Amino acid sequence: MVQSRTHTCGELRLSDAGKSVRLAGWMENVRSVSANLAFLVLRDFYGSTQVVIEDEKLLEQVKSLNKESVIAVNGSVRERSSKNPNLPTGDIEVLPSSIELLGRCRYNELPFQINRSKEADEAIRLKYRYLDLRNPEVKKNIVLRSKVVAALRSAMQGEGFLEITTPILTASSPEGARDYLVPSRKHPGKFYALPQAPQQFKQLLMTSGFDRYFQIAPCFRDEDARGDRSPGEFYQLDMEMAFADQEDVLAVLERVLVPIFQKYGKYSRVSRAPFRRIKYNDALETYGTDKPDLRIDLEIRDVSALMSGIGFGPFEGQTVKAIVVTDFTAGRKQIDKLCADVEVQAGQKPYWFRVDESGALVGGIAKFVEPVKDAVVSALGLTPGCFVGLSAGKLGTAQKTAGVLRSKLGVLCPNHMDKEQYAFCWIVDFPMYEIGEESGQLEFCHNPFSMPNGGLEVLQKAAAGEIDPLTITAFQYDLVINGYESASGAVRNHDPEIMIEAFKLVRLGEEDVKAKFPAMYNAFCYGAPPHAGAAPGVDRMIMLLTGEELIREVIAFPMNKSAQDVMMGAPGEVTDKQLQELSIAVTAHEE
């Protein structure tokens, strides 16, 4: 059987009129007009073409087929009498001489209409993802992803980087998230781990004498899903540079990413390099987050001194932050919803008041602010029509709540958010250490392999109690785009002595470091060059480029929110024989 085609369904134009052609694709729709006239839409990867059936026998053949059957059409091209300007092939139609069935759709009813699959329930879409991907609107994201990945590869090679793949089966190491473990058949009771990132391998490549490395790296983390994070696996543009510092890495990524966003992005405006650098603590103080959306022009102000002693309980002895919104037009219902949404996301209630047309303070906690009205109006530069949102609590709580409030105010007030752009910034000078929420003890804040500002000396001072380790910053940096963390990186700690001192502060001695990171520790002892790198997330980058709100829309076969592949049935059970080969016993687990 001949299945070749002369043209695709998106290729024919008026200049092809009179040609004999063979098309193949999915039968998207058939509209019968009479006993011997029907219009058939044939769709393939490239587009769709109208086929006009004027033969009663062919019409009966088509009527016997279900939608989405795969057929081949042999016929001639002619000019359409009623053209469709919205379709690239809208000037022509194909008059068939014969139709062949290539792949029958055996179901009368589809789970959803193909061209409206994005309106279907997500669980159904994921179960029938192969049908969902037939929708051109869904398919275009995957096509764009392919083009962007190819462009990233080309750009990195143009910067002198060598693409090197690193192992998928490796050893478990403390990277900050839970590992996916793989049992070893040949070594009973021992496990491989899927890499959370190629962190150690890329640093080892630097010690091996490779100067510039990159790969589109698969990473595996057993963590919960979010709208902007896929559970299980994701991909990142992993890169590392020898004999480089922070500015070298930032400059390379700025040169690589700006053209990508300019060419493939939904918005035409992109931040120019060099991107704005914002210190971590300044970001928290000004924007309430280390992932600020710079499309929003609102900033956070500290009004703790102004609001102390006004008799409002939640403010007493607390840090108080304020956000001023000019020309505020939202009504009371919108304000109530805003406050409710902030409380759900931040876990803390915000407060507010307004300045009416006469200059009086009204609504919310206005009566408590009234005694210090003049000072507040002067300090915040309030004018009629202003809205003031407030948060209170310990410093971190007040900052976080204000940050959530700022983001939601930006969405609520279009005059304060310029959505049609990509606003980039670098967050720098992250804390080296933090107090763990679960442990209550000192832990690494960002990346245990980062170089501290001040090197060995600052670590020794912290160990001696001369300085607070929480004040130590590191050469760590995040790239933030429109409020999304889009890359993380650091200047690496390549000195074994500094590495040991850094781990001592989190209660791990030299022997622990040698045991947990034997290859890296030993490699550094043979002489390692200064090196630095980063890893922009590919999935999140594509999500931003397409303007999608859910990362699952830019992944060909995504998992659901519960890290399940409902199409393939993963994770699934395995046989007792398989478990025995791996020396594994499965015990009952209570939900």
Sorted by sequence, the CB contacts under 8 Å of residue 335 that are 6+ apart come out as: 352, 363, 364, 387
Inside any domain, residue 63: yes
Indicate whether 369 and 457 sit together in one domain.
Answer: no
- List, for residues 98-122, the tens digit of each pLDDT value: 999 999 999 999 999 999 999 999 9
- For the chain, helix, strand, coil in percent to 5 are 35, 25, 40
Indicate whether 396 and 325 sit together in one domain.
Answer: yes
CB atoms within 10 A of CB 533: 27
**What residues form DSSP beta bridges with 532?**
241, 491
Before 274, cis peptide (omega within 30)? yes
Domain containing residue 62: CATH number = 2.40.50.140
Q: H helices within 64-217, ranges in order?
A: 122-127, 129-132, 136-158, 199-207
Indicate whether 407 and 460 sit together in one domain.
Answer: no
As a whole number of angstroms, the distance between CA 534 and CA 519 comes to: 21
Inside any domain, residue 235: no
Indicate whether 458 and 508 sit together in one domain.
Answer: yes
Task: Calculate the alpha carbon distances from 561 to 362, 420, 526 in Å.
Answer: 43, 29, 45
CB atoms within 10 A of CB 342: 24
Task: Calculate the alpha carbon distances from 355 to 95, 235, 365, 370, 415 in Å.
Answer: 70, 48, 12, 11, 18
Indicate whether 435 and 388 sit together in one domain.
Answer: no
| Rg, the chain, Cα only | 30
Inside any domain, residue 114: no
- List, for residues 181-227, the tens digit of each pLDDT value: 999 999 999 999 999 999 999 999 999 999 999 999 999 999 887 77
Indicate whether 385 and 441 sit together in one domain.
Answer: no
DSSP summary character for residue 588:
P
Inside any domain, residue 142: no
Q: Report residue 208: phi and psi, to 5°.
A: -85, -5
DSSP summary character for residue 417:
B
DSSP-derived 3-state class of residue 7: coil
Total structural domains in the chain? Answer: 3
Q: What percent of the chain has pLDDT over 90?
A: 89
Indicate whether 440 and 363 sit together in one domain.
Answer: no
Selection from 473, 447, 433, 456 nearest residue 203 by Cα: 447
Inside any domain, residue 378: yes
Domain that holds residue 455: 431-473+495-528
Domain containing residue 343: CATH number = 3.30.1360.30
- List, for residues 420-454, the tens digit of each pLDDT value: 999 999 999 999 999 988 889 999 987 888 999 99
Instruction: Identify residue 128 by its one-letter amino acid code.
Output: Y
Q: Which of 64, 84, 103 is the last residue of a domain?
A: 103
Inside any domain, residue 22: yes
Inside any domain, residue 561: no
Inside any domain, residue 487: no
As a whole number of angstroms, the distance between CA 303 and CA 379 comes to: 9
As a whole number of angstroms, the distance between CA 484 and CA 233 comes to: 18
As a whole number of angstroms, the distance between CA 285 and CA 295 comes to: 17
As a whole number of angstroms, the distance between CA 406 and CA 389 comes to: 8
Q: Which of 76, 103, 130 is the last residue of a domain?
A: 103
In which band, very low, low, confident or very high, does the pLDDT at 3 lie, cut at 50, 70 and 90? low
Res 224: pLDDT: 83
- List, for residues 130-178, the tens digit of each pLDDT value: 999 999 999 999 999 999 999 999 999 999 999 999 999 999 876 567 8
Is the pLDDT score of 37 beyond 80? Answer: yes
As a whole number of angstroms, the distance between CA 214 and CA 543 comes to: 21
Selection from 535, 492, 537, 487 nearest residue 517 by Cα: 492
What pairing do the DSSP bridges indicate for beta strands 433-435 and 476-481? Answer: unpaired
As a whole number of angstroms, the distance between CA 45 and CA 5 comes to: 13
User: What mean pLDDT, rounded, does the chain reach?
Assistant: 94
Q: Which two tokens stand for residue 353?
A: 């008041």
Task: Calculate the alpha carbon distances from 169 to 181, 259, 305, 573 in Å.
Answer: 9, 35, 56, 21
Res 418: pLDDT: 95
Indicate whether 445 and 341 sit together in one domain.
Answer: no
